[in-house]
């Protein structure tokens, strides 16, 4: 299932996150480390929409800055707060940019001095490894803004700050970027100290470090040094400094260092080109040497512009455009002519070259270097690039990058080209951008196209039909969800502005999506959209123009197919596409048009959508199921085969839903669906179950056929042949026996359509067979059919006796489903059966079938639901809690479920266990519910995978027992005795609760009258289990628990003989650690009963040979009068 089905709208997500940041600013404790960690998580949600933080940005920056400096000055004690606040500030800089964030920080003189002293404290000795780089990033970014303020700085301070910045420039972290910016601003200040030449010293240091880092092969350091030199060139204000930096830059670039690559190299080349052009000594014309140097710079930028790295190409294109805009007119025209010639000669099948050309065109248009006539000439080339790779699945990544760049080109064109010059092709541009924004597979392409479309609609609104509608409906948020863009948004726009854009949308889906897309989910959504567009446009005209049924065609002739292909760039209608659909559905290989698996799948999806949208659609040729259900299609893997079979079954379902008599009576249909289920199992369960239900419901009169199928399914389930598992049996979601799984799916359908209520009992027998074989997937297939059975029972019988019998058997089926492998852990698939049973039960509670009698019948399921609220699987617990709340709402007025109506809205261990403890103590709680709650508390208290849940359950249960009434204690004691008397080899839940019950029992505090009464009722049974464990177990934990129970029950005279025997058996095990722990437990327990100066405690540290004697003395001391 596509992940988009589970996502909420991005608008709601960003709005929620922004509200949470507002709430954080108003309520968060400024000294709480966890609060800043939470803030960092909230900021990460804004990576894709930075402007959403505008309303809170300034307040947030000030708060983070104050916290960072305040905590930094507190020293080691606030180290965690320093790290947390600086990390949040770094994440904010990632969202909005370092300069945009740091310019909001206060930089008055007093605050700047605090920042400078904090920067000096970043380095311990001469190392930066002891300081978190996030702290250095935040402080150095703040320091960059502070040094830009023109107040005088002390020479020693400047030198020390420069030294610290140099060390961080060479670090291998993100702080090196902030350090390079900080040092470049520091050494290029106009009021820097005149006693030293900071700039020259910095260039000398840079040259020596470049040589040293190149020798050691430190690529990251060399990149940082190149970036730092580019910043020095950018910020240098004195011409002498500029000349020195230019010499250093060419020396670095021409030294042949292979380590200086990427964006740092491009930035350095860009600054060199700018400085060469702006040389005051060459205002009228560049010198020969400057021309040669500039030519060399441009040549290097061109080489980077066609490189493999996308970010490098973007940076190089921007640099070429910026340098070109600064050239004299003659040189500018020569450079522009050469660049446009390269663009025009770009190969149509090279995505890297195409993306480079698009980026360069966009950058040239942004600086207004291209005249309108040339722009108009390049528009059609850009529109072709906007569809690049759509019909070539192998070019997925590179093609999407090219389409993204083409959107940037059109965005740039719209900003710098007047609408009057663009009136002729503006509608075509808007249509193509709209199709890309709605139907492109990649979200970044849809967002880029939406941005370009909004820009075009806003600036060329007088030349684009429905411009304001497009600008309002198609935006960053609405196109982020692919399903919404393909479905709801496309239908909305075609309804509002369909006369302008519906033909283009149909053509786009036809050419690039339905029959050629490599993604099956895209083909499905595109087919549904195409069907809607075809019918929305064709139906009114067809009703007026002809009496012939919609979509009728003489046949799938080659001429008809070719005619449809020729219409791809024009108007695509239902009649034109019908012949092609027939050819693709029948997988005809003799035609001129090849039928791929994608085309076959797309045609099936399109026909399914057409049949559902227009019940009068002429599906005559497809009623002959044998002509297309078994036709061979070449597939490359199992996934493609599953997609095709699923599409065929979905088309069958669509035909059945329209009530087609020929299809509904075809005896081949159930055999085909059963065989498909055996081959593809879970993939087809939903659609196959619905199709079988409709088929057997239509043929209910044919009792002999239905009975034959039911006997066949039961035989398959009961006589499991030795079939090799299709997948590893360890997989929780795997179908280990597909044949039995398919039989269970069909059996659940047959029972739901059977008029005999006793047939429901066959489901219980089948479920038992699945439990015996540990076939969890087949059991889940049976349980998932219960909602259909519920819907059928509501309208099946008028005879009240039959209905009562059916509900009675159904409740037994539900009880068995809810208890299916109830003791399973996380690695077991039984949890999915229980989850499916709860979901089916929720379906019943939301139906209109419930009355007071039925609620009372379903009350027998309440203990099972209560126990599942303590299940070890999170999904099962949450589902049980939801069902429990539905029960409380339905039966609160009938007084069947006391106290459940006031249950908390959401399940959390602490609140849920506290509430269940109240239900356990209530005097009107049914004994069966008391047993279920006792089992649940015991099971949760021994949860192996979640210590927090186990602790909460143990605390809530112990607290409840300490204040419980005698009647409630009797009920709990009876359940505990039953559990401890259950044989260990029994498969029922009681056999699994023997040890958890002993753990909980040992943890009860013996200071309450209720607990002492409980000891009187079940102490003997507990002591018998502890004695058995003391004699046979080798588990250290069980031995400790047994010792605890024996020592605690020594207080009771009736148990003293048995406890002495248990203690003696434990001491005979000859485990020194166990003896020590027993002595410590007895000492602690004795202090609660005897005075601290009792002579017994003087011999607490007895030798191992005297331990037995000490315990005997311990028993006599407790037995003494007055204890």
pLDDT tens for 145-164 read: 999 988 888 888 999 999 99
Residues 800, 775, single domain; the answer is: yes
Residue 196 has a CB neighbour count (10 Å cut-off) of: 12
More confident residue, 389 or 967: 967
Q: Is it the case that residue 615 has pLDDT exceeding 80?
A: no
Query: Residue 225: what pLDDT?
Result: 92
DSSP annotation of 394 reads T
Q: Compute how many other C-beta atoms are within 10 angstroms of the C-beta atom of residue 334.
A: 12
Q: Rounded to whole angstroms, how far apart are CA atoms 529 and 540?
A: 18
Long-range contact list for 61-66, CB < 8 A, 24+ apart? 61/89, 61/92, 61/101, 61/104, 61/105, 62/104, 62/105, 62/106, 63/25, 63/30, 64/88, 64/89, 64/92, 64/138, 65/89, 65/105, 65/106, 65/142, 66/30
Question: What is the spatial distance between Cα 438 and Cα 446, in angstroms, rounded to a whole number?
Answer: 6
Residues ≥6 apart with Cβ < 8 Å to 26? none
Side-chain half-sphere exposure of 789, counting CA atoms within 13 A: 32
Q: What is the pLDDT of residues 390-440, one digit of tens each?
A: 766 555 667 888 899 999 999 998 887 777 777 788 899 999 999 999 999
CA distance 955 to 961: 10
Q: Which residues contact 1101 (CB under 8 A, 6 or more apart)?
A: 1079
Tell the burial category of 716 from Cβ atoms under 10 Å away from its Cβ (0-12, 13-18, 19+): buried
Structural contact between residues 1120 and 1053, judged by C-beta atoms closer than 8 angstroms: no
Note whether 578 and 698 are same-domain residues. no
pTM: 0.76
Q: How many residues does the chain have?
A: 1123
Q: Do 589 and 640 belong to one domain?
A: yes
Task: With beta carbons less than 8 A apart as the criterion, state whether 672 and 629 touch.
Answer: yes
For residue 359, pLDDT beyond 80: yes
CA 1100, chain centre distance (Å): 58
b/e map of 444-467 (b: 16 or more CB within 10 Å)?
A: ebbbbbbbbbbbbbebbbebbbbb
Alpha-carbon Rg of the chain, whole angstroms?
39
* 634 and 717 part of one domain: no
CA distance linking residue 786 with residue 842, whole number of Å: 11
Window from 94-103, 550-559, 929-938, 939-948 with minimum mean pLDDT: 550-559
- DSSP 8-state class, residue 489: I
Q: pLDDT for 768-796, tens place per residue?
A: 888 888 888 889 999 998 888 887 776 66
Residue 763, domain member (yes or no): yes
Whether residue 819 is contained in a domain is answered as yes
- Give the pLDDT band of residue 87 (cuts 50, 70, 90): very high
Give per-residue pLDDT as tens, 330-356. 888 899 999 999 888 888 778 888 889
Between 418 and 251, whose confidence is greater?
251
In eight-state DSSP terms, residue 124 is: B
C-alpha separations of 157 from 119, 153, 922 in Å: 11, 7, 74
Tens digits of per-residue pLDDT, 172-189?
Answer: 888 999 999 999 999 998
Q: How many distinct structural domains can be found in the chain?
A: 3
For the residues 1105-1109, what does the mean pLDDT come to?
A: 59
Exposed, middle or buried: residue 50 (CB in 10 Å: 0-12, 13-18, 19+)? middle
Q: Which residues contact 100 (CB under 8 A, 6 or more apart)?
A: none
Average pLDDT of every residue of the chain: 79
Phi and psi based region of residue 389 (left: phi greater than 0; alpha: psi -120 to 50; beta: remaining): left
827 exposed, middle or buried (CB, 10 Å; 0-12, 13-18, 19+)?
A: exposed
pLDDT tens-place string over residues 4-42 = 433 334 444 444 555 678 878 877 666 788 888 888 888
Domain that holds residue 488: 346-502
8 A C-beta contact, residue 478 and residue 489: yes
pLDDT for 702-719, tens place per residue?
A: 777 888 888 899 888 888
Q: Give the pLDDT band of residue 541 (cuts 50, 70, 90).
A: very low
- Tell me the CA end-to-end span of the chain in Å, nearest whole number: 69
Task: Tell me how many degrees the CA angle 843-847-853 measures, rounded to the nearest 5.
Answer: 105
pLDDT band at 994 (very low <50, low <70, confident <90, very high): confident
Beta carbons within 10 angstroms of residue 901's beta carbon: 13
Q: What SS3 state is found at 127? A: strand
For residue 679, with 0-12 CB atoms within 10 Å meaning exposed, 13-18 middle and 19 or more buried, which class applies?
Answer: middle
Residue 340 lies in a domain: no
Specify whether 743 is located in the same domain as 843. yes
Q: Is residue 1009 part of a domain?
A: no
Judge if 662 and 698 occupy the same domain: no
Q: What is the 3-state secondary structure (H, E, C) of 573-622?
A: CHHHHHHHHHHHHCCCCCCCCCCCHHHHHHHHHHHHHHHHHCCCCCCHHH
Q: Are residues 600 and 699 in the same domain?
A: no
Residue 95 lies in a domain: no
pLDDT of residue 631: 79
Q: What is the pLDDT of residue 555?
A: 37
Q: Which residues contact 747 (CB under 8 A, 6 or more apart)?
A: 710, 713, 714, 717, 762, 763, 766, 782
Residue 208 lies in a domain: no
Phi, psi of 511 (to 5 degrees): -80, -40
Domain assignment present for 365:
yes
Would 810 be classed as within a structural domain? yes
Q: How far apart are CA 1038 and CA 1022, in angstroms?
A: 13
Q: Indicate whether 812 and 701 sit together in one domain.
A: yes
The two tokens of residue 1116 are: 């006599």
Handedness of CA 428, 432, 437, 438 (dihedral sign): positive
Please give the pLDDT value at position 890: 64
**Do both 660 and 709 map to the same domain?**
no
Picking from 833, 849, 865, the residue at the C-terminal end of a domain is 849
Statement to judge: residues 486 and 530 lie in one domain? no
Instruction: Evaluate if residue 222 carries a pLDDT over 80.
Output: yes
pLDDT band at 943 (very low <50, low <70, confident <90, very high): low
Q: What is the dihedral angle through the alpha carbons of 627, 630, 635, 641, rounded to the nearest 10 degrees?
A: 120
Q: Comparing C-alpha atoms, which of 445, 520, 435 is closest to residue 486?
A: 435
Out of 222-226, 470-474, 476-480, 534-538, pick the least confident.
534-538
CB proximity list for 200: less than 8 A, separation 6 or greater: 244
Exposure pattern of 81-114 as b/e (b: 16+ CB <10 Å)?
A: bbbbbbbbbbbbbbbbebeebbebbbbeeebbeb
Phi/psi for 575 (5° steps) reads -65, -40
705 and 775 inside one domain? yes
Measured between alpha carbons, how far is residue 139 from residues 43, 69, 127, 614, 1105 in Å? 19, 9, 17, 66, 68
CA angle 940, 941, 947 (to 5 degrees): 95
Last residue of a domain, one of 816, 849, 882: 849
Contact 956, 912 (CB under 8 A): no
- Mean pLDDT check: name the lowest of 17-31, 564-578, 746-760: 564-578
Q: 1074 CB contacts (<8 Å, ≥6 apart)?
A: 1036, 1039, 1040, 1043, 1066
In terms of Cα–Cα distance, which of 431, 536, 523 is closest to 482? 523
Q: Which residues contact 387 (CB under 8 A, 6 or more apart)?
A: 403, 432, 436, 508, 512
Cβ atoms of 769 and 732 closer than 8 Å: no
Instruction: Place 1111 in a pLDDT band, splitting at 50, 70 and 90.
Output: low
Predicted confidence band of residue 826 (pLDDT cuts 50, 70, 90): low
| Inter-CA distances, 798 with 703, 804, 854, 1048, Å | 20, 11, 16, 62
Confidence of residue 568 (pLDDT cuts 50, 70, 90): very low
How far is 378 from 359, CA to CA, in rounded Å? 13
Last-in-domain residue among 849, 876, 906? 849
610 and 646 belong to one structural domain: yes
Provide the token pair at 527.
Answer: 């087919």
Mean pLDDT of 269-282: 84
pLDDT of 1031 strictly over 50: yes
Q: Bigger pLDDT: 348 or 69?
A: 69
Task: Round to whole Å and give the CA distance between 448 and 545.
Answer: 41
Residue 891 tokens, joined: 């039966």
Spatial neighbors of 84 by CB under 8 A, at least 6 apart, are: 33, 36, 37, 40
- Among residues 80, 104, 78, 13, the alpha carbon closest in space to that of 52 is found at 13
pLDDT at 405: 92
């Amino acid at each position: 299932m596509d992940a988009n089905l589970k996502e909420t709208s991005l608008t709601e997500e960003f709005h929620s996150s922004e509200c949470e940041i507002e709430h954080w600013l108003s309520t968060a404790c400024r000294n709480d480390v966890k609060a800043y960690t939470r803030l960092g998580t909230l900021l990460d949600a804004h990576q894709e929409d930075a402007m959403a933080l505008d309303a809170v940005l300034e307040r947030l920056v000030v708060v983070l800055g104050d916290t960072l400096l305040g905590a930094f000055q507190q020293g080691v004690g606030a180290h965690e707060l320093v790290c947390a606040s600086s990390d949040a500030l770094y994440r904010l800089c990632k969202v909005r940019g370092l300069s945009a964030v740091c310019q909001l920080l206060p930089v008055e003189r007093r605050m700047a001095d605090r920042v400078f002293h904090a920067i000096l404290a970043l380095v311990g000795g001469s190392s930066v490894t002891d300081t978190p780089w996030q702290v250095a990033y935040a402080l150095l970014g703040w320091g960059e803004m502070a040094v830009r303020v023109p107040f005088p700085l002390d020479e020693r301070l400047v030198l020390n700050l420069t030294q610290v910045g140099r060390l961080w420039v060479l670090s291998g972290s993100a702080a090196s970027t902030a350090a390079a910016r900080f040092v470049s601003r520091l050494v290029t200040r106009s009021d820097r100290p005149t006693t030293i030449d900071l700039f020259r010293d910095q260039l000398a240091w840079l040259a020596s470090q470049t040589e040293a880092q190149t020798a050691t092969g430190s690529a990251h350091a060399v990149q940082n040094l190149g970036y730092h030199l580019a910043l020095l060139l950018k910020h240098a204000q004195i011409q002498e400094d500029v000349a020195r930096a230019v010499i250093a830059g060419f020396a670095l670039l021409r030294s042949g260092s292979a380590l200086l690559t990427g964006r740092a190299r491009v930035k350095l080349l860009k600054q060199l080109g700018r400085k060469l052009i702006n040389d005051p000594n060459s205002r009228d014309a560049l010198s020969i040497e400057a021309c040669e140097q500039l030519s060399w710079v441009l040549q290097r930028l061109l080489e980077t512009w066609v490189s493999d790295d996308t970010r490098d190409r973007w940076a190089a294109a921007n640099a070429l455009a910026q340098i070109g805009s600064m050239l004299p007119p003659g040189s500018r025209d020569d450079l522009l002519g050469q660049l446009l010639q390269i663009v025009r000669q770009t190969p149509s099948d090279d995505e890297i070259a195409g993306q480079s050309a698009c980026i360069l065109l966009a950058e040239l248009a942004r600086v207004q270097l291209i005249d309108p006539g040339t722009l108009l000439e390049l528009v059609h080339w850009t529109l072709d690039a906007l569809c690049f790779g759509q019909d070539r699945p192998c070019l997925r990544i590179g093609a999407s990058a090219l389409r993204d760049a083409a959107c940037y080109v059109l965005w740039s064109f719209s900003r710098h080209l007047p609408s009057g010059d663009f009136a002729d092709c503006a509608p075509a541009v808007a249509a193509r951008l709209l199709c890309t924004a709605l139907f492109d597979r990649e979200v970044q392409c849809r967002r880029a196209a939406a941005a370009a479309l909004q820009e075009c609609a806003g600036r060329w609104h007088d030349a684009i039909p429905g411009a304001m509608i497009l600008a309002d409906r198609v935006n960053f948020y609405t196109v982020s969800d692919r399903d919404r863009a393909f479905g709801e948004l496309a239908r909305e726009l075609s309804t509002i502005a369909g006369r302008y854009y519906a033909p283009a949308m149909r053509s786009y889906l036809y050419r690039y999506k339905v029959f050629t897309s490599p993604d099956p989910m895209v083909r499905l959504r595109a087919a549904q959209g195409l069907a809607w567009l075809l019918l929305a446009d064709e139906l009114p005209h067809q009703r007026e123009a002809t009496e012939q049924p919609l979509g009728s065609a003489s046949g799938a002739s080659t001429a008809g197919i070719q005619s449809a292909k020729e219409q791809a760039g024009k108007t695509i209608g239902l009649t034109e596409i019908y012949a092609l659909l027939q050819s693709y559905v029948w997988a005809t290989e003799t035609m001129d048009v090849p039928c791929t698996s994608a085309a076959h799948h797309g045609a099936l999806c399109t026909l399914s959508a057409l049949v559902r949208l227009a019940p009068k659609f002429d599906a005559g040729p497809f009623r002959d199921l044998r002509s297309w259900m078994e036709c061979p299609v070449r597939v490359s893997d199992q996934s493609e085969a599953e997609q095709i079979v699923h599409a065929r079954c979905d088309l069958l379902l669509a035909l059945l839903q329209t009530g087609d008599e020929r299809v509904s009576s075809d005896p081949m249909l159930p055999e085909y669906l059963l065989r498909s289920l055996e081959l593809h199992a879970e993939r087809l369960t939903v659609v196959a179950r619905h199709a079988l239900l409709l088929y057997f419901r239509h043929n209910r009169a044919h009792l002999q056929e239905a009975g034959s199928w039911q006997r066949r399914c039961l035989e398959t389930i009961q006589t499991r042949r030795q079939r090799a598992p299709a997948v590893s049996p360890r997989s929780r979601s795997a179908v280990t026996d597909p044949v039995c799984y398919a039989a269970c799916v069909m059996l659940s359908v047959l029972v739901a359509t059977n008029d005999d209520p006793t047939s429901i009992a066959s489901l219980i027998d089948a479920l038992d067979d699945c439990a015996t074989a540990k076939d969890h997937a087949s059991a889940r297939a049976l349980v998932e059919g219960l909602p259909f059975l519920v819907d059928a029972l509501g309208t099946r019988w008028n005879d009240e006796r039959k209905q009562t019998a059916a509900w009675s058997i159904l409740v037994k089926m539900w009880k068995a489903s809810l208890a299916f492998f109830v003791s399973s852990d996380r690695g077991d698939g039984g949890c999915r059966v229980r989850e499916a049973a709860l979901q089916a039960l929720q379906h019943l509670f939301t139906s209109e079938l419930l009355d007071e009698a039925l609620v009372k019948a379903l009350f027998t399921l309440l203990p099972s639901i209560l126990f599942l609220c303590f299940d070890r699987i999170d999904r099962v617990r949450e589902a049980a809690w939801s069902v429990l709340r539905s029960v409380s709402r339905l039966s609160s007025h009938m007084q069947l479920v006391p106290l459940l109506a006031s249950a908390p809205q959401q399940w959390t261990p602490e609140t849920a266990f506290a509430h269940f403890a109240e239900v356990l103590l209530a005097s009107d709680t049914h004994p069966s519910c008391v047993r279920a709650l006792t089992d649940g508390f015991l099971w949760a208290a021994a949860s192996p995978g979640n210590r927090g849940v186990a602790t909460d359950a143990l605390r809530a249960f112990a607290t409840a027992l300490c204040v419980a009434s005698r009647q409630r204690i009797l009920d709990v004691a009876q359940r505990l005795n039953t559990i401890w008397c259950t044989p260990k080899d029994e498969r029922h839940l009681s056999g699994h609760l023997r040890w958890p019950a002993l753990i909980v029992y040992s943890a009860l505090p013996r200071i309450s009258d209720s607990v002492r009464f409980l000891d009187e009722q079940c102490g003997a049974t507990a002591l018998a289990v502890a004695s058995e464990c003391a004699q046979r177990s080798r588990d250290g934990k069980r031995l400790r628990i047994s010792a605890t129970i024996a020592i605690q029950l020594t207080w009771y005279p009736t148990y003293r003989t048995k406890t002495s025997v248990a203690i003696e058996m434990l001491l005979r095990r000859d485990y020194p650690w166990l003896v020590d722990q027993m002595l410590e437990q007895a000492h602690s327990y004795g202090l609660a009963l005897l005075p601290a100066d009792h002579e017994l405690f003087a011999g607490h540290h007895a030798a191992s040979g005297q331990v037995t004697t000490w315990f005997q003395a311990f028993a006599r001391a407790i037995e003494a009068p007055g204890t």
